[in-house]
Amino acid sequence: MKTLFLKRKVFFAAALSVICYCMLAGGVLAANFPDVPENAAYAEAVNVLADNGILNGDENGNFNPNNTVTRAEFSAIICRLLGVDEEAKALTQSKFSDISSSHWAKGYIAKASEKGIINGNGDGTFSPEDNVTYEQAVTMVVRAMGGAEAANEIGGYPNGFLKFAEDAELTVGVQAKIGDLLARADVAIIVYASYCNMSIF
């Protein structure tokens, strides 16, 4: 337990320094989307993630910051965050019974499942079109960062993962609570913080 605590202290110290670097570097980017004000709290996160191919806009070039994100969409975001986008696209089947061979996100869902980042509903389904909740999104991000063991040590799902994310400053500026559906603006904030954190691995 002491070793785990020391590892977490080192992780959070390193993570904080990288987040600060990312914030300084990201501040010089121009706006990518007309519906994301330059002074919005989430603007930097959106712009950096868009420039790195992790978040996309719609066919009209808008980001739609107030829209929600489905579980399928978040699986794709996680795969892009991990840099396994091409590997995911190459997968043609998912183990979940409600993911058809023609579903646009089948490869992303299969890859995220393969890496232990997502779970189904316990009945063999995944519910890809359901909107992702705050605790689900945070849990997936923490797993993607390699923090699942530490999160399980401090309470598991969902509270342990939320505590881990809070300690790592992944959720600073996000007002959501357990059970809330995440807006794309909040998704950007959480994913951006984890993107900066992952630079230390």
pLDDT digits (tens, 9 = 90+) for 31-75: 689 999 999 999 999 999 999 999 999 999 999 999 999 999 999
Whether the per-residue pLDDT at 100 is higher than 60: the answer is yes
Whether residue 187 contacts residue 193, with contact meaning beta carbons closer than 8 Å, is answered with no
Burial 84-113 (b: 16+ CB within 10 A, else e): bbebbeebeebebeebeeebebbbbbbbbb
pLDDT surpasses 60 at 201: no
Report, as an integer, the average pLDDT of 125-148.
97
φ and ψ of 87, to 5 deg: -60, -40
pLDDT category of residue 19 using cuts at 50, 70 and 90: very low
Q: Decide if pLDDT at 16 tops 70.
A: no
Query: What is the arithmetic mean of pLDDT over 6-13?
Result: 42
Domain that holds residue 110: 2-200
Nearest CA to 195 out of 77, 89, 86, 112 is that of: 77
How far is residue 192 from each of residues 45, 46, 53, 71, 153, measured CA to CA in Å? 5, 8, 12, 18, 25
Q: What percent of the chain has pLDDT over 90?
A: 80
DSSP secondary structure letter of residue 168: T
Task: Tell me which of 11-15, 28-32, 49-53, 184-188 is least confident.
Answer: 11-15
Please tell me the total count of domains within the chain. 1
**Against a cut of 0.75, is the pTM above it?**
yes
Confidence of residue 13 (pLDDT cuts 50, 70, 90): very low
- Per-residue confidence band for 9, with pLDDT thresholds at 50, 70 and 90: very low
Q: Please, what is the angle between helix 134-144 and helix 71-82, to 10°?
A: 20
The answer to whether 184 and 65 have CB atoms below 8 angstroms apart is: yes
Encoded amino acid at 147, one letter: G
What letter represents residue 115's amino acid? K
pLDDT value for 21: 42
The pLDDT > 70 percentage for the chain reads 83
- Residues in a beta bridge with 133: 181
Instruction: Indicate whether 88 pLDDT > 90.
Output: yes
Average of per-residue pLDDT values in the chain: 87
| Mean pLDDT, rounded, for 71-85 | 97
